[in-house]
């Protein structure tokens, strides 16, 4: 299996622009998680989906952030408009929550820099 695939790996954009991060989970996994990692705040859970349905989005910073999972093989995290404080590494992870015991498989991350 190819693992969790994220794109882009690096994104540099200007403040105010829209940013879309993409994730393809491992085939057969039914839970998908979006995390954000910064030096100051560590690893933060933004939102997670189970069977394509958002379960908990309490970690989403504000309305500028939105996430979708239109099908079992694709999810997006969108920031509109972006701000410099959104600069971070964004990770997507997936798991087979109803079968396995919670092991998450992470993608390599999308490093976002907002100027």
Partner 1 sequence: AQSVAQPEDQVNVAEGNPLTVKCTYSVSGNPYLFWYVQYPNRGLQFLLKYITGDNLVKGSYGFEAEFNKSQTSFHLKKPSALVSDSALYFCAVRDTSSSNTGKLIFGQGTTLQVKP
Q: Which residues, 8 to 47, sit near partner 1 by CB under 8 A?
A: 31, 33, 42-43, 45
| Rounded least distance, CB 77 to partner 1, Å | 15
Contact region with partner 1 (CB under 8 A), list: 19-27, 66-74, 76-84, 105-113: 105-113
Q: Identify which of 94, 91, 61 has the alpha carbon closest to the alpha carbon of residue 79.
A: 61
Task: Say whether residue 105 binds partner 1 (CB under 8 A).
Answer: yes
**CA–CA separation, 21 vs 6, rounded Å?**
7
Task: Say whether residue 98 binds partner 1 (CB under 8 A).
Answer: yes
**CA–CA separation, 35 vs 21, rounded Å?**
12
Q: How many residues of this chain bind partner 1 (CB under 8 A)?
A: 26
**CA–CA separation, 61 vs 94, rounded Å?**
21
Contact region with partner 1 (CB under 8 A), list: 12-20, 65-73, 80-88, 99-107: 99-107
**CA–CA separation, 115 vs 85, rounded Å?**
9
**CA–CA separation, 96 vs 31, rounded Å?**
6
| Rounded least distance, CB 92 to partner 1, Å | 9
Which one of 46, 95, 112, 114 is in contact with partner 1 (CB under 8 A)?
Answer: 95
């Amino acid at each position: 299996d190819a693992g969790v695939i994220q794109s882009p790996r690096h994104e540099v954009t200007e403040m105010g622009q829209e940013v879309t991060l993409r994730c393809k989970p491992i085939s057969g996994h039914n839970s998908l998680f979006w995390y954000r990692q910064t030096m100051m705040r560590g690893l933060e859970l933004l939102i997670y989906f189970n069977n394509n349905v958002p379960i908990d989005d309490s970690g989403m910073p504000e309305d500028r952030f939105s996430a979708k999972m239109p099908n079992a093989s694709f999810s997006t995290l969108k920031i509109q408009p972006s701000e410099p404080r959104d600069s971070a590494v964004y990770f997507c992870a997936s798991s087979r929550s109803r079968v396995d015991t919670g092991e998450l498989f992470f993608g390599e991350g999308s490093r976002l820099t907002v100027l």
